[in-house]
């Protein structure tokens, strides 16, 4: 049953590779994403109501279901947006027609690897899946094959591979710690069993293992100081891919860290791993704040904003407790939706003004009123303006921090949030308000894209105003999975 979730995107990728006609490929892609979303919803519902599913190598509990839904929703949005965006890029000759189906095939292959990350029970398979996401997305990042995208893709592959290698060492150490205590036959990489025997694991090995995993997978999450590949890769990739990378891939890597965090908390108490997460979270926010102020390219700006939000999420999980965990989970959803909206809008803007340098862009409200209004709303959402959802999730994390007594972390958190608030809105308003520098005709972007932006922003808005009971229960269930998260 769970394998179907992997088979659907795999088959979609294969079909896209074999078809020749552009329309057919686009249809195949859309149907595949819809099917994935449908099946994910069904299985997640089952898991939330009847409990975790353990099918050998594949395992799905509340947290996996949550991540899976996130992957499915954003993938659907991305594949739909790709139709319009890549279609236009093809018409303008930015790449050869023969590579069109490679894009969709790689896209769905990439989606499959992310689903595999969410469903793995065996930590070794999870590692393989994460390495596979890097490899699958490498060609997507370098899709335009020019100097900049090659540089970005090379940095991406090399830095992430180094990080993941360190994470593999951490995985090996964890495996060794399970053998030390339990003996040869008891050694296991199955997450569910490891959680069960957490108190028997060797503490020294476990500590070193977690540090390595945090640094290693943290590279893929984009935590500073391992983040250097992120602005390049996310800004050079085609816009729909940037949305997928920022919204989902970073979260998947975070998910991997969380699995280790859970084991570490069960064995050593939440203080050790939580403290490290808080540290990296704050540091990432600080670095992101600095670069957001200095940004000149709007896609890089959005990439640094992703780093900042992953820092917030790490902070929330690090603080822990039921509030912290729920706050971070909400932040994951809100960030994914908002960042996708921002990237989609950015794609529209770029299509119109043909430049990514923010200094050169002015007066978008005169050139594309509705789209720029929605884009500005998305900016408001991402910096944490009420009534949008990010305000709520950041507030929850703030409350968690106060409750846990982490006053220093909380104060730095607030200061950085304020700085980023100011900087991003400054950049955004410079681009949107004022008089256009060049004479560009007044025309909206694609209607389809406008609709998508409305849907995404509406989602974030709803989450900011009201938390559905079903979602609330699901989140609380997940929080209980974390040792020490039941409070």
Partner 1 sequence: MAEINLNLINGLAAMVLLAAFILVATGRLRTMVRVFAWQSLALGLLAAAVAYSTGYWHIYVVAALTIVLKALIIPRIIDQIMDRIQVANDVEPSVRTPSSLLIAGGMAILAYYVAEPLIQSGETITAGALALSLAVVLIGLFIMISRKKAITQVIGLLVMENGLFMAALSLSYGMPLIVELGVFFDIMVAVLIMGVFVFRINRTFETLDTSFLRRLKD
User: Where do contacts with partner 1 occur on this chain (CB under 8 A)?
Assistant: 122, 124-125, 127-128, 131-132, 135, 138-139, 142, 145-148, 150-155, 157-158, 161-162, 165, 168-169, 171-173, 175-176, 179-180, 187, 189, 202, 204-205, 208, 231-232, 235-236, 291, 294-296, 300
Instruction: Find the shortest distance in angstroms from Cβ 55 to partner 1.
Output: 15
Nearest CB to partner 1, comparing residues 305 and 371: 305
Residues facing residue 78 across a β-bridge? none
Report the alpha-carbon distance of residue 401 to residue 390 in Å, rounded. Answer: 16
Nearest CB to partner 1, comparing residues 235 and 393: 235
Nearest to 238 by CA among 351, 109, 374: 351
Which residues, 6 or more positions from 377, have their beta carbon under 8 angstroms from its beta carbon?
A: 457
Instruction: Find the shortest distance in angstroms from Cβ 389 to partner 1.
Output: 29
Instruction: Find the shortest distance in angstroms from Cβ 246 to partner 1.
Output: 17
Which 3 state secondary structure label does DSSP give 468?
A: coil
Instruction: Find the shortest distance in angstroms from Cβ 287 to partner 1.
Output: 11
By the 8 A CB rule, do 199 and 130 touch? no
Nearest CB to partner 1, comparing residues 168 and 326: 168
What count of other Cβ atoms lies within 10 Å of the Cβ of residue 377? 20
Nearest CB to partner 1, comparing residues 26 and 232: 232
Instruction: Find the shortest distance in angstroms from Cβ 58 to partner 1.
Output: 13
Report the alpha-carbon distance of residue 165 to residue 321 in Å, rounded. Answer: 31
Instruction: Find the shortest distance in angstroms from Cβ 142 to partner 1.
Output: 7
Nearest CB to partner 1, comparing residues 249 and 336: 249
Instruction: Find the shortest distance in angstroms from Cβ 471 to partner 1.
Output: 35
Number of residues written out for the chain: 487
Which 3 state secondary structure label does DSSP give 434?
A: coil
End-to-end CA distance of the chain: 34
Report the alpha-carbon distance of residue 377 to residue 370 in Å, rounded. Answer: 11
Nearest CB to partner 1, comparing residues 57 and 461: 57
By the 8 A CB rule, do 60 and 52 touch? yes
Nearest CB to partner 1, comparing residues 137 and 328: 137
Instruction: Find the shortest distance in angstroms from Cβ 154 to partner 1.
Output: 6
Nearest to 299 by CA among 378, 369, 232, 220: 232
Instruction: Find the shortest distance in angstroms from Cβ 50 to partner 1.
Output: 29
Helix-helix angle 321-353:447-465, to 10 degrees: 160
Nearest to 439 by CA among 348, 358, 355, 363: 363
By the 8 A CB rule, do 269 and 484 touch? yes
Sign of the alpha-carbon dihedral angle for 215, 216, 220, 226: positive
Report the alpha-carbon distance of residue 172 to residue 177 in Å, rounded. Answer: 9
The overall longest dimension of the chain from CA atoms, in Å, is 74
Nearest CB to partner 1, comparing residues 130 and 449: 130
Residues facing residue 54 across a β-bridge? 59
CA 388 from chain centre, in angstroms, equals: 19
The DSSP call for residue 297 is B
Nearest CB to partner 1, comparing residues 233 and 266: 233
Instruction: Find the shortest distance in angstroms from Cβ 291 to partner 1.
Output: 6
Instruction: Find the shortest distance in angstroms from Cβ 165 to partner 1.
Output: 5
Nearest CB to partner 1, comparing residues 172 and 373: 172
Nearest CB to partner 1, comparing residues 108 and 299: 299
């Amino acid at each position: 049953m769970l394998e179907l979730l992997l088979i659907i995107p795999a088959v979609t990728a294969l079909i896209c590779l074999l078809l020749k006609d552009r329309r057919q490929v686009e249809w195949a892609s859309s149907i595949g994403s819809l099917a994935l979303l449908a099946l994910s919803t069904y299985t997640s519902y089952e898991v939330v109501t009847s409990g975790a599913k353990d099918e050998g190598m594949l395992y799905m509990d509340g947290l996996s279901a949550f991540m899976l839904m996130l992957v499915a929703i954003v993938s659907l949005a991305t594949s739909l947006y790709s139709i319009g965006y890549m279609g236009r890029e093809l018409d303008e000759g930015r790449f050869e027609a023969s590579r069109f189906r490679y894009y969709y095939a790689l896209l769905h292959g990439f989606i499959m690897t992310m689903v595999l990350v969410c469903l793995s029970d065996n930590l070794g398979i999870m590692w393989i899946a994460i390495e596979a996401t890097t490899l699958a997305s490498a060609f997507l990042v370098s899709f335009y094959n020019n100097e900049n995208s090659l540089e970005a893709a090379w940095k991406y592959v090399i830095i992430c591979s180094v990080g993941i290698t360190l994470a593999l060492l951490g995985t090996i150490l964890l495996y060794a710690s399970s053998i030390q205590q339990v003996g040869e036959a008891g050694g296991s990489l199955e997450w569910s069993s490891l959680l069960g025997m957490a108190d028997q694991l060797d503490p020294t090995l476990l500590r070193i293992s977690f540090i390595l995993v945090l640094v290693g997978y943290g590279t893929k999450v984009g935590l500073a100081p391992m983040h250097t590949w992120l602005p390049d890769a996310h800004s050079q990739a085609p816009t729909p891919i940037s949305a997928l990378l920022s919204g989902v891939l970073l979260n998947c890597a975070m998910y991997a860290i969380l699995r280790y965090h859970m084991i570490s908390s069960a064995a050593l108490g939440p203080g050790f791993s939580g403290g490290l997460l808080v540290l990296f979270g704050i540091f990432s926010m600080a670095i992101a704040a600095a670069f957001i102020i200095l940004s000149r390219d709007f896609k890089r700006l959005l990439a640094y904003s992703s780093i900042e939000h992953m820092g917030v999420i790490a902070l929330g999980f690090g603080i822990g407790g039921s509030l912290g965990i729920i706050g971070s989970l909400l932040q994951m959803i809100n960030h994914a939706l908002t960042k996708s909206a921002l990237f989609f809008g950015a794609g529209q803007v770029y299509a119109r003004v043909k430049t990514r340098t923010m200094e050169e862009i002015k007066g978008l409200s005169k050139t594309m009123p509705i789209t720029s209004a929605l884009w500005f709303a998305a900016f408001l959402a991402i910096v944490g303006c009420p009534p949008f959802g990010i305000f709520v999730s950041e507030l929850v994390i703030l409350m968690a921090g106060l409750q846990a007594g982490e006053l220093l972390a909380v104060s730095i958190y607030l200061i950085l949030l304020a700085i980023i608030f100011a900087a991003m809105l400054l950049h955004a308003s410079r681009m949107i308000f004022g008089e256009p520098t060049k004479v560009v005709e007044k025309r909206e972007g694609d209607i389809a894209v406008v609709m998508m932006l409305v849907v995404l922003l509406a989602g974030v808005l709803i989450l900011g105003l009201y938390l559905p009971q079903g979602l609330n229960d699901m989140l609380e269930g997940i929080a209980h999975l974390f040792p020490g998260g039941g409070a």
